[in-house]
């Protein structure tokens, strides 16, 4: 979705995609009602980012949730770039909202999977480890009931662990 905002904060352009996703076609005065489509938990943060960007004449880049036309919320990455006039003041903003909802859902699934793996690895009375393609151990848990490794005895490569010559 593409949008432009005037120097005084009035939204003067939204492409058709915004209306297709939200069911709302922005009109004059949208800058006063945008918060109705933004997730309530994100409104203040979005306002703060915009305020800081206006003061610093810097790029806005923020992830937040917006209401879809079916009433559900979807994550979007909002970026806006200020165009400075000859006087050095912001003349206009050019921005995009990119749907990142699927990406956010995948990130959450990965986090949940990592938590499940860590819980399992911490609970079993065994050595649990993974190694990269060079054999370097990148994850290592050992139940202290079995053996206690310290920095001198902790294996650095999987071959040292599985084929120890000691």
Model confidence pLDDT, tens digit, residues 4-14: 999 888 888 88
97 Cβ partners below 8 Å, 6+ apart?
A: 1, 3, 18, 66, 76, 77, 78
Q: What are the pLDDT digits (tens) for 105-114?
A: 999 999 999 9
Q: What are the pLDDT digits (tens) for 45-68?
A: 999 999 999 999 999 999 999 999
Does residue 21 have a pLDDT over 70?
A: yes
CA distances to 10, 28, 61, 142 from 52, rounded to whole Å, are 17, 24, 11, 48
Does residue 166 have a pLDDT over 80?
A: no
CA distances to 2, 75, 81, 130 from 16, rounded to whole Å, are 9, 19, 20, 49
Q: How far apart are CA 118 and CA 123, in angstroms?
A: 8
Give the three-state DSSP class for 135.
coil
Residue-level pLDDT at 4: 92
Residue 84 CA neighbour count, 13 Å, CB half: 11
Residue-level pLDDT at 138: 80
- Residue 96 near residue 69 (C-beta atoms within 8 A): no
Q: How far apart are CA 157 and CA 166, in angstroms?
A: 15
Provide the token pair at 22: 């939200």
pTM strictly above 0.85: no
Model confidence at 163, pLDDT cuts 50, 70, 90, reads: low
């Amino acid at each position: 979705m593409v949008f432009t905002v005037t120097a005084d904060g009035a939204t003067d352009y939204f492409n058709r995609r915004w209306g297709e996703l939200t069911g709302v076609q922005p009109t004059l005065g949208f800058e006063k009602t945008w918060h109705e489509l933004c997730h309530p938990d994100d409104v203040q943060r979005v306002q703060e980012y915009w305020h800081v960007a206006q003061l610093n004449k810097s790029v806005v880049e923020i992830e937040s949730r917006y209401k879809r036309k079916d009433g559900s919320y979807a994550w979007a990455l909002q970026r806006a770039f200020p165009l400075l006039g000859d006087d050095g003041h912001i003349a206009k903003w050019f921005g995009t909202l990119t749907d990142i909802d699927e990406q956010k859902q995948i990130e959450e699934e990965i986090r949940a999977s990592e938590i499940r793996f860590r819980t399992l690895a911490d609970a079993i009375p065994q050595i649990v480890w993974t190694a990269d393609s060079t054999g370097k151990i990148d994850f290592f848990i050992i139940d202290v009931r079995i053996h206690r490794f310290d920095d001198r005895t902790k294996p650095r490569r999987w071959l040292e662990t599985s084929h120890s010559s000691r």
